[in-house]
Structure 1
Amino acid sequence: MTFALVASGEKSESPAEAEAGMIAGLDIDAETKRGGLLEGVPPEEWPAKGEVIIGTVLANRLNLKEKQLIAVISTDVDGFPVSELFTVKTIVDSNVELIKTLGVVMPIEEAGELLMMPDQVHELAVYGYDFMKADSLKEAITHIPALKDASIKTWREAIPEIVMVINVKKWFDILFLSIVFIAAAAGIANTAMMSTFERKHEFGLLLAMGARPARLVNMVIFESVILGLIGIAVGTFIGVAISTILSYTGFNYGFLGGSGADTSITYKEISFSLVIYPRLKLQHVVYGLVAVTLTSILASLWPALIAARLEPVEAMHRT
């Protein structure tokens, strides 16, 4: 990207007004995909040779319309002035503030010709499939001979503020899950306690017939675990169904801000989509199964100990 002066290229009796802009030579095909600077721009609005895309704010300042000529004045890689006329292909309301306010977007080949730097770029964005493996991807890129002198940064190094936000979110997730498991434990303990008191007579009879207290403990714990497993089976079925549907349709967090809210946000010229596509892995189900089982066992210990300490005669006595 490089700064430039942008003015209307149409013939007029009055002098043309000029505004500061920024030439952005992009790989149009890549940047119109999800997460790109031009996300959502349809192919029929892509600029061809001699055409550019203009941000809405810059277009409003210059009163530009589609198919109108503009003059772009800048300096090439050697510092010499260059200028060219372009046709406005389309005007975009980009979520990227820089593109929206100053953007003069053209194919990267066109920008290379204008600025006398063919087959050269200022910046490359490499997308991986797993953000947790960013360091491995960086290591692989550093071994590319053509990029040996380049400054290579992972997303964590480029935007450390986002890393801080993610870490804070992890603590909120832990807090939220802790509250959920405490509530689940209280529910299971309450159910087990009510069941224990309702069956005091039966427990007393079993103890009088020679049953060991450990057997009653195992009975109460087993019933609590079964109750928890039934709950997690129903919850897992519903959760898997919802996650599977949303993995295809996505969930737009932008709707929480109203029907007219954006579908992405931008920070430091990096676009973050608000449409989330959840990915469910087997390990997530296993973690839930283990966590609920342990919660059920811990929650049932108190009722189980009460059942084990019952006096047979007192327990069988009906009031």
Structure 2
Amino acid sequence: MFIKNGWYVAAWGNEIGRELTQRWIAGDPLVLYRTEAGKVVALEDRCPHRRASLAKGRLVGDTVQCGYHGITFDCLGSCVHIPGQEKIPGSMAARAYPVLEKWQWVWVWMGDPDAADESLLPDFHYNDAPGWVATGGCIPVKANYQLLTDNLLDLTHETYVHGKTIGNSAIVETPISYRVEGNEVHVERIIRNAPPPPLFQQVRNFEGNIDRWQIIRFQMPAHISIDARGLPAGTNDIERGMRWFSINSITPVNERSSLYYWTITRCFSLEDESLTKVVSDQIYKTFMEDVEVLEAQQALIETDQRRKAEVSIRADSGSVSARRIVQRLVEKDASTTSERMIPEVAQ
């Protein structure tokens, strides 16, 4: 259930330097590093000789030397040296993956390199846009990545899971609307004249009720941005209100685990470092509440021998739509791969 022809976050930009770093994405191992010129390289982390981990080798200039037998590969994955052997077999090559570095993150295209398309990156420019300040991190989660996208596309759970930070009863009492546009899902909930949740009150000190917006955008394979706004009820007073984006990119490690890359980027009180810390600490606490729920959910799914079909409700409309998009694109990728594997018949 992994889309291959899509961009996944492999790391924060500041995580990758002049050392070999292993990442698993959608069941495949990668080794990442920066060249001496600063460009990020991503190769398959299996030496084609005996499948040793290249990440356990060493950098020699801009090449990777396998730590097992010393076979060396350049940035394109081409073998440039075999100790004690002049002739290099054509098949002695490590797969190289297309890489982009944008919006503080390193992105890797896991599918057909000829299909890599920068326009398919999610629009996460608020991560480093002028007039905005971002804080974030990466959380390992022992759960399938689609459980995380479900969680972010249906924020009803905030009422019950996050009552001490971003949730209150007004959320569950307000229905959502949703629409599907191509490979995107848009979910919207507008809450009128309701008490602010605890974290909103803490960061903006509202004097009364607020109007609240949750505008969610899903982009494949597993990228979700949430435009979250709170304004004094019945006004458009952004000066006394708040707006931030919760930007989330879920990278599947394998079927049972994920890396959850996240930021909160806001457009108010930009110079207030103490506020940035409050937001970061409280949102991290909020996400760890999700992790507790999702990891328990994963365990129960894996041990459910009955395999009964889940029963969906209205609030699942966005997450069900996203799963259908993923299913369709997974099948498309599989079909394309199968077509490439079918040998041509000589005429």
What TM-score bracket applies, with the shorter chain setting the length? under 0.3
Larger Rg belongs to: 1
More helix by share: 1
Task: Give TM-score scaled by structure 1 length.
Answer: 0.24
* TM-score calculated relative to the size of structure 2: 0.22
Choose between structure 1 and 2: higher strand proportion: 2
